[in-house]
Structure 1
């Protein structure tokens, strides 16, 4: 099995939601977005891991960041794996194999993907070190940019790299923030159990719903501005699912059912 096929298999196992739009992307762009998604997923799995001490999370994330900062032309899969070898028994496979996902990126866009992933790993290390303390809306904006808004910017750069698509960068940030805000709402009860809250002090569910709706409105504008093509097709699926998830959460349901997801995806792709 070649690396791209293995990467798509891993992607399908970790996120069926993003597997669908990524698997539909044309060659070249598909490798770039697959690399970016799996690199981000690798560090996200560490940040969210319920059984790894925060101090160890910080060290792993910083090691991964430093490995990526060494540069595509100077690194091998073995070099990257060695930076987290001491933690192999703690972290999931998608995280341990981050070097493979990084080296999947096409050479002409790899530096941008590596830089974005290294920066995100450092930001996640900061939040883990500070126990995800979010006291104000400003803190929430900082966190949602760290883990998602910056992904929106990276995607914007990938579209530009592939076919010179020009996008509004503020709206691109809103795209990422909107999806993350919906995730915060969906995982709110689970986060409380592990002693973490991404709600600013004094915020209730309605406040976070308002925050999510505002950023999803930016995401709507962002998506509507995209020309017909792979970028538009990619963005429509997670955005549609985010809107639908927000609606079922308002109705008191925990999440979309698998049947709901597949019906919405079919609707978007038809």
Structure 2
């Protein structure tokens, strides 16, 4: 229990200070599955993003990751590959620590209630599928963009919309009075909310992706600043609509702690979209980020929400 507590606090805090705050606001019974799910997703994401490792090997390791969640032999094989192929390239000490302790995270996963085990397995299937398709498209096939709006919607569901569904299922499992909205309807809102949060990340990172020769936005013709900015305006409007679904989701929750934890990312995302609406390419390149002062305001707004 002490080891699990440390993983769910110090290790998790190291790899995500902002989401760590959200998790700490959650009711106790929701906190464990959400913390554990996040650590597993962050570990698979670190594997996916280790660019120094060949794309084909990263793709194979992600496929092995899912098998390792239920198969001890596959788990040992994966952990050996991480030690041999990935650790030396981790310049972020916190992400390196997470990979070093991934065996402990898996052991924690083995110890949870069956319902929690199943829900985490389900959301990880979606997340890893999105990460694998990302590597296949950009790293193996050599494409430079998503071809259609549907592809972007699918990707956003896999890596984030599915988390909104997971959040909802965990919420109802731990509190049958979780929301004043019926479960199936709340799942739809949760999926939309998660997709909106992922769109905000994509829109904020457009210059970085452009510098790496890729775009998550389905623009036509050669990639250019003007095209990307024009397409971004369309997707910012979609993101804002999805984040408003998140506000509706949060407002329906009966528990104060769950409501605060759920609404906080939405408030920060709306502030980010406001900044993105006003930013030109150079400002986007320099990085658009909500200030700590504004984050503190969002926390107070979440407390009063």
TM-score range, shorter chain: 0.7 to 0.9
Partner of 1:259: 293
Describe the SS at the equivalent of 2:290.
coil
Greater C-alpha radius of gyration: 2
8 Å CA contact 1:151–1:176 kept in 2: the answer is: yes
Aligned CA RMSD, in angstroms, stands at 2.5
1:1-270 matches, cutoff 5 A: 2-70=3-71, 81-82=79-80, 84-89=82-87, 90=89, 92-93=95-96, 94-105=98-109, 106-108=112-114, 109-131=116-138, 133-164=145-176, 165=178, 166-167=182-183, 168-202=186-220, 204-252=231-279, 254-269=288-303
Residues 49-72 of structure 1 deviation map (CA, whole Å, 9 limit, x = unaligned): 4434322221221111111143xx
Q: Give the 3 Å change call, closer, same or farther, for CA 49–194 of structure 1 in structure 2.
A: farther
CA distance in 1 between partners of 2:73 and 2:231 (Å): 46
1:65–1:119: 8 Å Cα contact kept in structure 2? no
Q: Which moved more, 1:94-103 or 1:75-84?
A: 75-84
Flag structure 2 segments of 5+ consecutive residues without an equivalent.
Answer: 221-229
Q: Which runs of no fewer than 5 residues in structure 1 stay unpaired? A: none
Distance 1:156 1:75, change over 3 A: farther
Secondary structure of 1:196 counterpart: coil
Q: What residue number does 2:223 align with?
A: none
Instruction: Give the structure with the higher percent helix.
Output: 2
Paired residues of 1:35 and 1:101 also in contact (CA < 8 A) = yes
Going from structure 1 to structure 2, the CA distance change for 1:21 and 1:239 (only over 3 Å counts) comes to same
Distance 1:28 1:217, change over 3 A: closer
Superposed displacement of residue 224, structure 1: 2.1
Q: Deviations over 1:75-117 (max 9, x none)?
A: 8986763463433424542245334334434223122202321
TM-score normalised per structure 1: 0.88
CA shift at 1:138, angstroms? 0.5
TM normalised by structure 2 equals 0.78
* In 1, Cα distance between equivalents of 2:100 and 2:125: 15
Q: Which moved more, 1:180-189 or 1:76-85?
A: 76-85
Question: What's the CA shift string for 1:234-267, capped at 9, x where partnerless?
Answer: 2111111111111111122511122322332233
Question: Aligned residues, how many?
Answer: 267
Q: Which moved more, 1:206-215 or 1:1-10?
A: 1-10
